[in-house]
Amino acid sequence: MTVRSLLLLTALLAATSAPALAQVRDDVIASPVLRASVSVTADVVRIGDVIDNAGSSARIAIYRAPDLGTTGSLPVAQVLATLRAHQVIGVDTRDIREISVTRLARTLEGKDIELQVARALERRNGLGDAANLSLTFDRDVQDLRLDASNSGAMQAIAARFEPRTSRFDVTLEIANDNVATPTRLRFAGTAVEMVEAAVLARAVERNEVIKSSDVVVERRPKAEVGGDVAARDRAVGMQARKQLRVGQALKVTDLAKPDLVQRDQSVTLTYEAAGLYLTIRGKALEGGTEGDVVNVLNLQSKRTVSGVVVGRGQVSISVPTPRLPAAAETTSSLGTRETAAPVAVAAISHSQVAQHVAPKAE
């Protein structure tokens, strides 16, 4: 045999032996290896959950899973005995003494459930915004744990509210990835719409001006205070139309602008006319707020005049501006430089004041 023939035979043997070696490696089964911690979503623990390389035994259930959202432990000796019963042997324990098993869950917080119920009732049969609804449930709403497969959004599929009794009945639904039937949650109770109201911290007498320290803000049932409840910034500085008790929620109709002039109060009468500004002391015969027309006694002339309240203790009386006589308005015989309208107006104004203002108010 020549050298060339020997080389060809060696190459042929190498080519035929390589697949055989590969086949041997593929036929080698990896040994099962124990896991130190396990997370499951089902209600049972399977062999494939606790060991790697479980082969055809992976789907066999061996333990009940912990409660939703909780963690339990399994002693390794107990696990190995269970595995041997199912012909799973030669497990590499890696010196693990116990296996931690956690059951995954989706947690719905009670406050999120309450918010979803409120949103379902929002603006239903006369109710207002969800943020203003106070809900009382027939049973306490606690944190709820569901299978992790319940990954869908929580949404209301039915909602009823009876205004006469304030009763509600709401059904929520959460889609499930594993089954066609979603999870449904039903809640019942009472719903009351609340509003922020200005509440008196002390009793207030009629016509008394409300101060900042007199008012606190509280949430009260809308049905109790009505629709014309007053806000705090609207109440402070206003005057009570009637006697109000402590703890009473203020309404817009309970309040009025404060009187700037009180009955029998000494006031300043102000007369204004063209070319004239005059102030006189007077006595208010009635109270009034800004813009009100009140009667005032002129302390000089002892006459009663009417004026408009313009400020605290101030009443304005306007005197009509006198008009020029018709003859004075004709200026065709006068030159431009001879026109003396301002002087004539001033003269007439003072004359009119003497005739109209003095007799009334002197």
- pLDDT for the residue numbered 330: 45
Determine if residue 240 is left, alpha or beta; phi over 0 gives left, psi from -120 to 50 gives alpha, anything else beta.
Answer: beta
- pLDDT for the residue numbered 277: 83
What percent of the chain is helix, strand and coil (3-state, nearest 5)?
A: 25, 35, 40
Report the amino acid identity of residue 208: E
Distance CA 131, CA 227 (A): 17
Report the amino acid identity of residue 109: E
State the residue for tokens 């409660």.
67
Residues 17-38 have pLDDT tens digits of 444 444 444 445 688 999 999 9
- pLDDT for the residue numbered 325: 59
Strands 33-34 and 51-52: antiparallel
Distance CA 231, CA 169 (A): 32
Q: What is the dihedral of CA 258, 261, 265, 269, to 10 degrees?
A: 160
Phi, psi for residue 255 in degrees, rounded to 5:
-120, 155
Residues 6+ apart with CB under 8 A from 2: none
State the residue for tokens 């190459």.
11
- pLDDT for the residue numbered 276: 80
- pLDDT for the residue numbered 2: 52
Report the amino acid identity of residue 266: S
Output the pTM of the full model.
0.60
- pLDDT for the residue numbered 321: 58
- pLDDT for the residue numbered 190: 97
**∠ Cα 150 156 159 (to 5°):** 145
Q: Which residues of the chain have a pLDDT value below 70?
A: 1-29, 319-362
